[in-house]
Amino acid sequence: MKRLIGLFTTLVVLALPAAAQAKGEFHPEDEFELNDWIPIHIGPLNLSINKAVVYLLLGALCTCLLGITLMRVRRGTEPTRRQTVGEMIYDIAQTQVAEQGLPSKAIGRWFPFVATLMLFIWVVNMLGFIPLPISNEKWHGIPTFGIYAATASISVTLALALMTFVFTHIEGIRENGPIRYFKSWIPSGLPKPGLSPAGLVAGFLLVFIAVLEVLGQFMRLISLSVRLFANMLAGHMLILTFIGLIFVLESVALAVISVPLATVFYLFEVVIVVSIQAFIFAALSAIYIARRSSQNTKEDTLVGTLVAATTGDVTDAGKAIALALGIGLGALGAGVGIGNIFGSMIQSVARQPELRGELQGIMWLGFALTEAVVFYGLVGGLLAYVLI
């Protein structure tokens, strides 16, 4: 255990940017800045190569090598350890993601997408916790080691979620036709709009529900991208901030507390969060695609969802509602807490500008801890929902 803590400390100190190791100052946000390494500008589009692009290219290469090595090279009748790991990954992608989310008729078409998505996100997340010489900081012309996850950038997760968003509607149009598909967004059985008072009310409800349905489509896109982005960013900030407290407060004695805590969070992120986030993203993508490939698409409307919710097991529904309320209140509390921290930071810097560097480190620690509490509450709630 002592060797593990020592190794982890060495890796994280190497991973801290040079500016972050300055005495009394610590800026973990510098590690997430994306500077243009190879500028490529086409009109208003910025297609420059930066750190996130390099990590994505490296992640794509590692994903291809991992898939080929585990599942294609030297497959024998007697499975080796390598082949067993490959079959386990394939089995999780098929039975836990594709078969649980996609209808049987759509598995053959969309299984490659959701399986590749899960493996790619897992590899990119894992690369984010390995110190690599890919950073903006340099030491005598040599890039310093740093930890950075491409999925901690909202543009990356939004692009991944956008693929699911587009494929979801492509599948819905392909399966049902454009007219029937977009017509299914409006619940059937509503009174026809007209000039009478009842008709005007019906017209208002029709427009209101249609707007809600459109907003719901985009909220799926936002929630899918923000979930992955926030969890990866909070994890990295938490680890860097715990180690950075040693430099901010200029006290080596803090290493007795900060290093073990950072080690625990590092192991938690690597062992649990990395895999859970990749699995959730792929599983939700499969579910979204499956809901649009169904012939009975009216279940996707607001009315259909409410009816489906009320016809299930009352006990399960009650637990689900309690879980949702708990998570919602936790997220609300986190938002209020972050707002208070940020407001206090502005007031403190305005009163004593010379303490800006020290206060920034404490502010990021508060942000990270607040976000972590919500995530741990979510994990605990899900475990309680499953086990109780």
Q: pTM value?
A: 0.70
For residue 287, pLDDT over 90 is answered with no
pLDDT at 190: 62
Written as one letter, the residue type at 145 is: F
Torsion of CA 249, 250, 252, 256, to 10 degrees: 10
Give, in words, the CATH class of 312-388.
mainly alpha
Tens of pLDDT, residue by residue over 26-71, are: 666 667 778 888 888 888 888 888 899 999 999 999 999 998 888 8
| pLDDT score recorded for residue 331 | 63
Local confidence band at 11 (pLDDT 50, 70, 90 cut-offs) = very low
Q: Supply the pLDDT for residue 310.
A: 42
Among 2-11, 116-125, 167-176, the least confident range? 2-11
Count other Cβ atoms within 10 Å, centred on residue 214. 11
Start-end of CATH 1.20.20.10 domains in the chain: 312-388
Most confident of the following: 22-26, 88-92, 296-300, 343-347: 88-92
> Per-residue pLDDT tens for 319-377?
666 666 666 666 666 666 666 666 676 677 667 776 666 565 556 556 555 656 666 66
Q: Taking the mean position of all CA atoms in its chain, how far away is CA 55?
A: 16
pLDDT tens digits along 90-126: 898 988 888 888 888 888 889 999 999 999 999 999 9
- The candidate with the shortest Cα–Cα distance to 121, out of 97, 145, 91, 144, is 97
Specify the 3-state DSSP secondary structure of 143.
strand
- Residue 237 pLDDT: 82
Q: How far apart are CA 161 and CA 183, in angstroms?
A: 24
Q: Which two tokens stand for residue 372?
A: 């972590």
